[in-house]
Structure 1
Amino acid sequence: MSSTDGVVCSEADRLRASQDASQIHCLTRGESLGVMLIAETGVLSLLAVIYVFGIIIRNIFRRRRLSEEWKVFEEPTDLLLASLFAIDGIQAVGAIINVVWLHRGKVETGPFCEAQGIFKQYGEVGVAFNTILIALYTFIALWGGRKIRSMLKTAILVFLAWLAPLILVLIGNLTTQDFHGPVPLWCWITKRHPVWRIMGEYLWMWLGLAICILMYIPIYFWNRGNFVPQDKWWKVRVRSTRCSPIDSELRRKASIMLLYPLAYSIVVLPLSIIRWITFDREKKGYSEPTMATAATVLAGVLFASSGFLNVILYLRTRPDTALFGGRYREGPRLPSTVGGPRTSTWSAKPSRSISDSPASYICPDDRDSELDDFGRAPPSITR
C-alpha cells in the first residue's frame, strides 16, 4: 500500500483512478472523515426511524388489547407519516453503505456501489414524493377547506409514491451501462448520464422543494390571519393586521404538518446548490471533484439526517392520531388537519373542540361574519 497526500490506495488502484475516475476514487484522509460522518448520520437516522416504528407497533398492540381492533391506519395522517418514516429508513441505508468505502479507503464500482446507488436514488426520490403528498394534503385541507378522509385514495397515492421511484431505478439500470459509480465520495448516477441525473432524481427533488415552498407561504400567512381564503381557493382577502379567526389548536396542527415539508426544504436546498454547481462545472470539462470536500460533506450529512430530523419533529409534536398518539383515553378529539374520522378514543393529549374556540380568536372585522372552522369567508362576501 502507498500513502501519498493522505491517499491510502494500492498502486494498481491509483492507476485505475487516473485512467477512469468513474470506476474508482481513492479517498484522502479528509474525505474519509467526511464519508464517516455521513455514514454515522445515516445510522442515527435509521435508529430514529426504528424507534418510531417501535412506538407504532406498541400502539397497535395496545389498541388491540383495549379495543380488540387490529386496524393499523385510522386516518390519512397515519398512512402519510408512516410512509415518510419508512422511506426515510431506506434513504438512511444508502448513507450507511459509506462504511464500506471507509473500510476500503476507496469508492469503486461493484455490488456495494450498485446497492448504494439504488438505495440512494430510490430513497431520495421516494422521500420527495412522500413529502409532496404531505404538503398537498395539508394545503388542500387548510386552504381549500376540504379534509381528504378516504383511506383508499390515500393508500393509492402512497403506493404510487413508492412505485414511481422503483420504475425510475429499474429503467435507468436496465437501459444504460455503468449507471452507478463514484461521484466521488459515494456511489450515485455517473456523469455519463446527465439526463438521468435530472430526470431520475433531481427533477423530483427540486419539484418537491418548489411545491413545499409554494404551499408553505400562503398557509403561513393564513395561519397568521393575514390571508382569508374566499369561496374559490384561488381568491383571497388580505388583512394588513396580524389577527387570526382560526382556533389556536387548528393553527397549531397546521404548523405541525407544515414542519415536515419545511424540514425537507432545509435538507434538500444545500445539496441542490452543490449539485447545480457540479453539473455546470462538469459541462466545462472538469474531471476532478468540483466542490470543496467540506461543503460536499456538510450537504451530504444534512441530507442523511432527513430521517432523524423527521423523527425529532414527530417526538416534539406527536400527531393526535391513534397510530402515533402517546396514550389511550376516552373522549372526542380534534380531526387531523389532513382528514380522517372526527372522533377517536386515542389521543396524544386532550384537545378542545373547534366549536369551543374563544371569542378572542375572532378578528374585529370578522365578528359579524359566518366564518367556517378554517377562517374561510362565506360565498356571499363581496370581493
Structure 2
Amino acid sequence: MSTTALLPDGTEWLLRNVYTPREVHGVTVLVVISCISLVFVVGLLGAIALSAFNTRSSLDQHLFVRTHVAAYFVSLLVSDLFQALGSILNARWIRDMAVELGPLCTAQGVLKQLADVATAWWTLVIAIHTFCLLFLELKTSRFTLYATLISGWFGIAAIVIAGPAALDTVHHGPFYGISGYWCWISPGWPGARIGLDYLFMFMAAFFSFILYMLIFLRMRGNIIVEGRRVSFRLKKIDQWRGKRFENQALTIARQMLLYPIAYTILILPIAASRFSSFSGDDVPFGVTVFSAAVFLLSGIVNVTLFCATRRILPPESFKIPKWKISAPKEIPALEFNPGQDSYYQNSGTYASSMDEKEKLPSESFDSVPPALNIRTTNVGVPHIQAPPAGHHREDRVESVYNMYAEPTSAIPLTPTDESVNRLA
C-alpha cells in the first residue's frame, strides 16, 4: 500500500511505499552486504593510515603510500564507504516495513548519488593515471596530483548540488525521493538520473575498458610507441620496450589495472537492468536486488584485490606503536657531607668537621696562589705546589683574544719529575 500527494503541476508524488515480506528479505540482503563492505573498507583505510604513519621517517620514495595512485585509491575507498553507508540506511525502512519521504530519505539519496559519481570518477582517474605511466610513459607531477584531488572532489560536490539547486523542485517535486525500494533521485526527474548519475557510471566503465585494452596491447608488444610515433604489429614481442621506470612503480601500476576492470564487470548487471527500465520493460524485483547486490560488492572486491596483490604495503609497517606515559617521580634530595666523602677526606682540602678546620693553618683557606701546579707522589693523596718564588709572568694575557691567539702565553710548569705521576 502506497501513500501519494498531488503536486502543483497535477502529478502524483509518492510519500510512502510499504514493503512486502519478500521485499524485506531482499533489501535485508543488501544491508548485510553493505555492512560487510563497510568493515572491509574501514579496515583497509586503517591499515593504509597505519602504514603511512610507521613509514613517515623512511627515505624510500617508492612506498605505495607515497605514490600518486595511493591518493586516488584512497579516494576510491572513501567512495565505497559512502556507497555502503547509503545502503545501510535501508535498515530504517526494514524496521518500519516501508520507505517514507523525509530528511533520512533525502540523506540516503544524496549518499547514493555522491557514491555513484565518486566511484565512477576515481575509477576513471586510476585508469587514466595508469595509462599515462604504462602507455605514454609519462610521470605526473605533484601539482597534477593535488589539482586532480581538489578538482575531483569539488567537481563531484558540484554535480550533487547542481540538481537540487538548478531544477524547479517547488512545482515539480523534491529532487530526492522514493525510488522503488529505497531513496534516490525522484522518478519525476528522469533526465537528471541519466545526466547526473548514470552518464558518469557508464562513461567511466566505457573509457576504462578502452584504456585497459590499449595498455594491454602496449605491454603485449602489439602497439609500439617511439616518441610521437605509434605503430601497430600483429605479432607480439617477448619484452616490452619502454622507458626503464622503477620496478615497484610499474608493478603497482599493473596491479591498479584490476580496479577499472572490476568496476566494469560489477556495473554490467545494473546497467542492463537500467537500460531495460528505460525501454519501458518491467524489471522483476529479483533482478533489481541482484544487480544492486553485485554493484554493492565494489568495496569488498576492491579490498580483496588490494590484499591479494603481494607486498604493496611493507609487512613491518603494520606494527601498532606503543604509547607509554611515565608517571612523575619524586627526585630525592642530594646531601653533601665532606666528612663522609672519601674523595675529599683523601685530598686534604676539606675538613671533616669544624674542629678539624680550626686545626688547619689559616693559609690553607685565605692564601690562594695565582697558579697551581698539581702533582702527587701518591695517587690517593694529591699535593698542591705553588710556583717558584719570584716567578713573574712576562706574557700575561690581557684579553680573551690573546688567550687563544698566543698559545705560548701558558704559565710554564715546574720541571717534570719523571718519578711521579702527573694529574690533569
- With the length of structure 2 as denominator, give the TM-score of the two structures: 0.65
In the alignment, what sits opposite 1:172?
Answer: 163
State the alpha-carbon separation in 2 of the partners of residues 169 and 255 from structure 1. 32
> CA offset at residue 249 of structure 1?
7.5
Once the 2 structures are TM-superposed, how far is the Cα of residue 293 of structure 1 from its aligned partner? 0.9
Alignment match, 2:256: 257
Which has the bigger relative contact order, CA under 8 A and spacing at least 6? 1
What letter corresponds to residue 292 of structure 2 in structure 1? G
Query: Which of 199, 206, 211 is matched with 1:215 structurally?
Result: 211
Q: Give the match for residue 91 of structure 2.
A: 99
1:280 aligns with 2:282: no
Report what 1:300 is aligned to.
292
Question: Which residues of 2 match residues 209-248 of structure 1 at below 5 A?
Answer: 209-232=205-228, 235-241=230-236, 243-245=238-240
Pick from 189, 197, 202 the counterpart of residue 198 of structure 2: 202
Compute the displacement of 1:172 (Å): 1.2
Q: Which residue of 1 aligns with 2:53?
A: 61
Q: Choose which of 177, 183, 186 in structure 1 pairs with 2:179.
A: 183
2:55 alignment partner, SS class? helix
Tell me the CA shift for residue 60 of structure 1: 2.6
Q: In structure 2, what is the Cα distance between the partners aligned to 1:15 and 1:237?
A: 62
Q: Which letter maps to 2:34?
A: G
Tell me, which stretches of 5 or more residues in structure 2 are unaligned?
318-424
C-alpha distance 249-159 of structure 1, shift in aligned 2 (>3 A) = closer
* 2:10 is the alignment partner of 1:23: no
CA distance in 1, matches of 2:115, 2:212: 23
Distance change in 2, residues 1:132/1:304 (3 Å): same
1:216-268: CA deviation from partner (whole Å, max 9, x where unpaired)? 111122233333233226x2321324633369977754431110101111111
Q: Report the equivalent of 1:266.
A: 265
1:119 is the counterpart of 2:118: no
> 2: distance between equivalents of 1:318 and 1:21?
52
CA offsets, 1:267-295, max 9 Å, x none?
112111211221221xxxx8xxx311111
Number of residue pairs matched by the alignment? 303
* 1:156 corresponds to which of 147, 152, 164: 147
Q: Secondary structure at the match of 1:35?
A: helix
The amino acid of 1:60's aligned partner reads A
8 Å CA contact 2:35–2:84 kept in 1: the answer is yes
**Higher-Rg member (1/2):** 2
Work out whether residues 17 and 24 of structure 1, in 8 Å CA contact, stay in contact via their aligned partners in 2. Answer: no
Report the counterpart of residue 316 of structure 1 in structure 2.
308
CA distance in 1, matches of 2:257, 2:76: 14
- Let me know the Cα RMSD of the aligned residues: 2.9
Does the Cα contact within 8 Å between 1:17 and 1:25 map onto a contact in 2? no
1:89 is aligned to 2:85: no
**CA separation in 2, counterparts of 1:40 and 1:182?**
21
| Structure 1 residue 166, shift from structure 2 partner | 1.2
1:22 alignment partner, SS class: strand
The alpha carbon displacement at 1:45 in A equals 1.3
Once the two structures are TM-superposed, the CA of residue 327 in structure 1 deviates from its matched residue by 3.2
% of aligned pairs identical?
28
Deviation per CA, 1:296-341: give whole Å up to 9, x if none.
Answer: 1111111111111111111111574xxx44336xxxxxxxxxxxxx
SS at match of 2:137: coil
SS in 2 for 1:182: strand
How far apart are residue 93 of structure 1 and its match? Answer: 0.8
Contact 2:133 2:253 in 1 (8 A): no
Structure-2 separation of matches of 1:275 and 1:17: 26
1:318–1:325 CA contact under 8 A, matched in 2: no
How far 1:107 moved relative to its partner?
1.4
* Superimposed CA distance per residue, residues 328-366 of structure 1 (whole angstroms, 9 cap, x where no aligned partner): 6xxxxxxxxxxxxxxxxxxxxxxxxxxxxxxxxxxxxxx
Distance (Å, rounded) in 1 between the aligned partners of 2:252 and 2:222: 18
* 2:128 counterpart residue number: 136
Secondary structure of 2:279 counterpart:
helix
The 2-side partners of 1:154 and 1:253 are apart by 17
Q: Would the aligned equivalents of 1:39 and 1:98 in 2 still touch at CA under 8 Å?
A: yes
C-alpha change, 1:141 and 1:241, in structure 2 (3 Å) is closer
Partner of 1:74 in structure 2?
Answer: 66
Structure 1 residues 17 and 30, CA gap change in structure 2 (3 angstroms)? farther
Does the alignment pair 1:32 with 2:28? no
Distance 1:73 1:24, change over 3 A: same
Q: 1:291 to 1:17 in 2, by over 3 A?
A: farther
Question: Cα offset for 1:109?
Answer: 1.1
Matched to 2:189, the amino acid is H
Distance 1:310 1:50 in 2: 12
**CA 1:85–1:295: 2 relative to 1, 3 Å:** same
The TM-score with structure 1 as length reference comes to 0.72
Shift of 1:30: 1.8
